[in-house]
A and B are shown apart, each in its own frame.
Chain A
Amino acid sequence: MPLQLQVVTAERVVYEDEVDMVVAPSLEGTVGILPRHAPLMSVLGIGELRIKKGAEETPLAIGGGFMEVLDDRVTVLADSAERADEIDVQRAEEAQLRAERLRAEGAPADPAIMEAALRRAQVRLKVARRRRNVRGGQPTP
């Protein structure tokens, strides 16, 4: 029996489908969820949520949140979640540059917040690039 995955943010339902595997960026490291996983409640960090369905893999950029696994239902409550094609690459690049510059200059902002901003930008870019590579490579049958 496959997993029933729902990814929701406060603004909308981002993803809802039956999938084979979910790989989530938990605070304690990456966790892979397969069918018949034990009930789990976990805090997610900023990172990439990978969804595997058949041969297809969909990455989502997640900006922290929670994940609940129960009876083959996976619910991700994310602060932000974007599919690769929704990511504004230019904006993410600008954000990355800005965050790096601020860090180099030792800006007065909270270092943790700056670090988080940088991390978010990096994850968005990573997810967006992954998508682009897929397009440039062999077309999947």
Chain B
Amino acid sequence: MPSLRDIRRRIQSVKNTAQITRAMQMVAASRMRRAQEAVEHSRPFSEKIREVLADLSYATPAGEGALHPLLERREVRNADLVLMSSDRGLAGGFNANVIRLGSRFILDEAGAPVGVLSVGRKGRDYMVRYGRNVTADFSELGDQPQLDDVTPIARTVIDRFTSGEVDAVYLVYTEYVNTITQTPRRVQLLPIEPPSAEDQEEARSRGVDYIYEPDPRQLLQALLPRYVEVQIYQALLESKASEHSARMVAMRNATDNANEIVGDLSLTYNKARQATITREIIEIAGGAAALEA
């Protein structure tokens, strides 16, 4: 049975922990709101650019070979994986989930040697520790990344793809569904998947005869690198929002648990205190009775 002093000390220490996790929860909550806003704000752009891409690929007749180097399909002999994790931990299963998806892809699904381009320290450290081939690292982008921050990432993957160093580039990130649900996802960045049949169908049904300036081919050339950039940017924003949500939920659970432990310990403490008092009264009463007798 621990002494009263031990219990008191324990309660204090758990209370301190609760205070810290509570503060972290609050910080994560406010960052999450901002990150959510950023995701919302960037959505019109990426939706529009997808629409324009569909219109364009409908307008450019699929002639000889690939229209653009970024659309070129090759046998995959080497691949790159852009892995988005967080720079800091204490975010529940956030990093574990996204890293698991990335690792499974590298080990089982890729069917070719995979180079890792890490965005986020946690993923980088994991991949380095397990001896994966980390070819580039873009960690510590901060909490409010700008489009400029992902330009170097897009540049690197585009260069590696067009030079033939790799034949496919994948992106693993965490999709933000809502505050309690975040799903790790893998998408193919390069070669760019041509717009789905539905999107093309929609473009056809719009049946608009655009004036293209300059011609559609050149427009496509200007658009595609930007499309890659926007995809990476959108994924980064989603990852950030997911990270902060995951951290907020994890910290809320931690705070709740700590408070529960404080409750249990207080009960034990009070019981022990009461037992001591009762014992003392019995002793005094016993002593008095002995004197009277």
- Residues in chain A within 8 A of chain B (CB atoms): 6, 8-13, 26-28, 31, 38-43, 66, 68, 70, 75, 77, 79-80
**In the bound complex, what is the Cα–Cα distance between A12 and B233 (angstroms)?**
12
Closest to A71 in B: B208
Contacts A9-B45, A9-B147, A11-B147 given; does A70 touch B208 at CB 8 Å: yes
Complex contact B233–A39 (CB within 8 A): no
> Which one, A9, A13, A27, A75, contacts B213 given CB within 8 A?
A27
Closest to A37 in B: B211
Which 8 A-B pairs rank lowest in CB-CB distance, beginning with the nearest?
A: A42-B213, A12-B41, A10-B147, A39-B210, A41-B210, A8-B45, A40-B211, A39-B208
Complex contact A43–B45 (CB within 8 A): no
Complex contact A11–B208 (CB within 8 A): no
B126 located at the interface, meaning its Cβ lies under 8 Å from any Cβ of chain A in the complex: no
Closest to B148 in A: A80
> Which one, A11, A39, A77, contacts B41 given CB within 8 A?
A11
B219 located at the interface, meaning its Cβ lies under 8 Å from any Cβ of chain A in the complex: yes
Complex contact B213–A41 (CB within 8 A): yes
Q: List 5 A-B contacts (CB under 8 A).
A: A10-B233, A40-B213, A41-B213, A43-B222, A77-B49
Complex contact A13–B41 (CB within 8 A): yes
Contacts A10-B42, A10-B233, A12-B41 given; does A66 touch B210 at CB 8 Å: no
> Which one, B38, B209, B218, contacts A11 given CB within 8 A?
B38
Task: With both chains docked as a complex, state the minimum distance between the C-beta of A117 and any C-beta of chain B, in angstroms.
Answer: 12
B146 located at the interface, meaning its Cβ lies under 8 Å from any Cβ of chain A in the complex: yes
**In the bound complex, what is the Cα–Cα distance between A8 and B230 (angstroms)?**
12
Q: Which residues of chain A are near B223, meaning CB under 8 Å?
A: 66
Give the secondary structure class of A's interface: strand
Q: A10-B230, A41-B210, A79-B147 are in contact. List 9 more A-B contacts (CB 8 A).
A: A11-B41, A13-B41, A26-B213, A28-B214, A38-B211, A41-B56, A42-B219, A43-B213, A70-B210
- Residues in chain B within 8 A of chain A (CB atoms): 38, 41-42, 44-46, 48-49, 52, 55-56, 146-147, 208-214, 218-219, 222-223, 226, 229-230, 233-234
**In the bound complex, what is the Cα–Cα distance between A15 and B146 (angstroms)?**
18
| Most chain B CB within a 10 A radius of its CB, from A11, A26, A68, A75 | A11
> Which one, A9, A40, A75, contacts B210 given CB within 8 A?
A40
Complex contact B208–A43 (CB within 8 A): no
**In the bound complex, what is the Cα–Cα distance between A41 and B48 (angstroms)?**
13
Q: Which residues of chain B are near A8, meaning CB under 8 Å?
A: 44-45, 48
**In the bound complex, what is the Cα–Cα distance between A108 and B55 (angstroms)?**
39
Complex contact B233–A41 (CB within 8 A): no
Complex contact A27–B214 (CB within 8 A): yes
> Which one, B41, B146, B219, contacts A43 given CB within 8 A?
B219
> Which one, A10, A27, A38, contacts B45 given CB within 8 A?
A10
Q: Which residues of chain A are near B48, meaning CB under 8 Å?
A: 8, 68, 75, 77
Q: Which residues of chain A are near B210, meaning CB under 8 Å?
A: 39-41, 68, 70
Q: Which residues of chain A are near B233, meaning CB under 8 Å?
A: 10
**In the bound complex, what is the Cα–Cα distance between A42 and B218 (angstroms)?**
10
> Which one, A11, A28, A77, contacts B52 given CB within 8 A?
A77
Q: Which residues of chain A are near B146, meaning CB under 8 Å?
A: 11
**In the bound complex, what is the Cα–Cα distance between A40 and B212 (angstroms)?**
6
